[in-house]
Amino acid sequence: LRSTHFSPGKWSLSIAVAKVQGLAENYVRFRHLSQDKDKSATYCQPYFSQDAVEKLPDDVRKAAATYTTAGTPKVERELKDGPCSTLIVRNLPHAITNQDNAREWFDQAGFEGEYDFFLYFPAKRRRPDQPASPGGAPQGLA
């Protein structure tokens, strides 16, 4: 990704190595988000390559199926020697507003078929500044 040229935006594209590497551990951590029948509960909908998921060991798929936010089963896997496989990309163009747009953007940049896990988090939106009222500073949520 570092050698890829993207059209400039307000901020430069930020790429960092993710703390958790690899499909197996990320599948255990995030599969439940893709199983949520009420998609309105979160804007975060992970993508997992079905081919890659089918190749995961049974213990990984069982751990993902029993995942709860209270007690996450940990799947111990050693990272293979070599480059990292999981990256965090920030500061995508503002036109990218959902996971499908983000994946399409990466695919068009030449990365189609190069990833087996993709998790899009929408950009944080700032509340518009409100003018001060005669009663003092505006009240907000804490």
pTM for the full model?
0.50
Distance CA 97, CA 65 (A): 29
**Quick one: average pLDDT of 27-45?**
69
**Model pLDDT for residues 101-129, shown as the tens digit of each residue:** 888 988 888 888 888 888 887 776 665 55
- For the chain, the farthest-separated pair of C-alpha atoms sits apart, in whole angstroms, at 63
- The answer to whether position 108 is within a domain reads yes
- The answer to whether position 132 is within a domain reads no
The yes-or-no verdict on residue 96 having pLDDT over 60 is yes
Residue 58: domain span:
14-118
- The answer to whether position 21 is within a domain reads yes
- The answer to whether position 2 is within a domain reads no
Number of domain units in the chain = 1
- The answer to whether position 127 is within a domain reads no
Calculate the CA dihedral of residues 139, 121, 26, 17 and round it to 10 degrees.
-100
- The answer to whether position 93 is within a domain reads yes
The residue behind tokens 């896990």 is: 117
